[in-house]
Structures are given as C-alpha cells and as structure tokens.
C-alpha cells in the first residue's frame, strides 16, 4: 500500500503597519483608513524579514492598510496577490473608533470582552461569522496547493497572509492545537510564522 501523500506549509501571518487609530488604541475593524506615512508605519524590519522568501500564494485583506503594507514590503507580490474581504478584521459595529477607556463602563461591552464567542458588538459581527469566513480562507489555500509542486523533503510551501491582529490571533488557534485567542498579541508590522503538516486524505483544520 502506498504511503499517504504528505506536505508541509509554513504560514507567514503578517499584521499590517501602524495607522493613526492603532496609535490612539481605537477599535479598528472594517473602517478603511490608511497607514501612517513613511517610517511611522513601522515596516522596516518586516521588509527585511520577508525580502528573500518566495511565496507561491499571497492572500491579503482588501482593506487599504493591508494592501499598503504588502506594497511597501513586497511590491513584487502585488500582482499575484489575492485581495480578500474574508481576511478583514472583525466588524466592531457601533464600537468602531472608540477606545477601551471610552467603552469600559458599558455592560454589554464588558460581557463581550469576557466572553467574545457569546456576545456580539451592536451592529457588528459575531464570533461565529468571523471564524467561518477566516477558516474558509485556510481551507481554500490548502486545496490550491498541488502535491506535485511540493518543495524537497524537509522544506515547506511558503504562504503569505497579510491581515489584521484579531484575524492572526484566530488563525493561530486554528493552526496550533491547544492555542487560545488571548495567548498572543502580534504587533503592527510584524510576522508570525507557523508550520503545519497536511495530507491529501484530510485537508481540513477541524
């Protein structure tokens, strides 16, 4: 009996550079605001980290802060990237643009902070909706990879995802068994790398 075809993926999960609302620590979800100018966006180290890696798949949130990040750090990848609204940050609804200090005394906000899977921001997006759309991106990427194009043994497919802080934390919980959403924070302009193994018999993450 032939052995099951196996392959590995190295996920490069990039959080976009700094915006003015990031500096002010305001909730920034679907609001489409640009990066800060020049070095204020904090992308210098990221540019160096990603410079030499070849990415057959590049997936990027369609919001301009992510598009601008990709263009500044790897402009050569802009034409092969897929710009995907499923990789947007959570929609914070009526809380968009506010800070923790401005919201902390609202009971519904406190409930959401403590149990985000059980509560939804007013006029915003539920945890289930966020999880469903983000997971669909992962599943789609894995099915696009062809085993016959796999790199040599010991190496992995390189996949670049440029997205948002909350999405990266959610991706981490899916890609690392036992990881929790609140375990890790990813700074603006940084990359989280995670390596996973897959087989054609089981392409999913569930």
Q: Is residue 95 part of a domain?
A: no
Whether residue 2 is predicted with pLDDT greater than 90 in this model: the reply is: no
In a domain, 171, yes or no: yes
Report the domain count for the chain.
1
For residue 28, being part of any structural domain is answered with yes
Burial of 140 (0-12, 13-18, 19+ CB in 10 A): middle
pLDDT of residue 43: 96
Q: Which of 96, 92, 70 is nearest to 81 (CA)?
A: 70
Q: How far apart, in whole angstroms, are the C-alpha atoms of residue 178 and residue 147?
A: 27
| Range with the poorest average pLDDT among 30-39, 57-66, 160-169, 178-187 | 178-187
Mean pLDDT of 175-180: 89
Does the residue 119 lie in any domain?
no
pTM: 0.92
Residue 13 resides in a domain? yes
54 within some domain: yes
Q: Give yes or no for residue 66 having a pLDDT over 70.
A: yes
Strands across the sheet containing 82-84: 82-84, 57-61, 157-163, 6-15, 191-199
76 pLDDT band (50/70/90 cuts)? Answer: very high
CATH code (residue 160)? 3.40.50.1240
Domain range for 46: 6-90+126-199
Average pLDDT over residues 20-49: 96
Asked if residue 33 belongs to a domain, the reply is: yes
Asked if residue 23 is part of any domain, the answer here is: yes
Hey, which of 12-21, 144-153, 171-180 has the most confident mean pLDDT? 12-21
Q: What is the mean pLDDT of the chain?
A: 91
Evaluate if residue 205 carries a pLDDT over 70.
no
């Amino acid at each position: 009996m032939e052995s099951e075809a196996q392959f590995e993926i190295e996920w490069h999960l990039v959080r976009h550079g700094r915006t003015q609302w990031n500096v002010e620590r305001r909730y920034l979800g679907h609001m489409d605001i640009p990066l800060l100018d020049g070095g204020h966006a904090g992308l210098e180290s990221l540019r160096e980290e990603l410079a030499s890696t070849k990415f057959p798949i590049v997936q990027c949130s369609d919001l301009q802060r992510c598009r601008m990040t990709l263009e500044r750090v790897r402009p050569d990848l802009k034409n092969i990237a897929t710009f995907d609204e499923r990789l947007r940050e959570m929609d914070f609804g009526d809380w968009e643009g506010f800070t923790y200090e401005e919201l902390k005394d609202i009971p519904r906000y406190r409930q959401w902070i403590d149990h985000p899977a059980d509560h939804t921001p007013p006029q915003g997006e539920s945890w289930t909706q966020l999880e469903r759309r983000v997971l669909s991106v992962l599943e789609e990427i894995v099915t696009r990879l062809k085993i016959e194009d796999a790199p040599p043994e010991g190496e992995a497919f390189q996949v670049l995802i440029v997205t948002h802080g909350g999405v990266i934390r959610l991706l981490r919980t899916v890609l690392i068994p036992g990881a929790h959403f609140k375990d890790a924070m990813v700074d603006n302009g940084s990359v989280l790398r995670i390596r996973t193994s897959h087989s054609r018999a089981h392409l999913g993450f569930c």
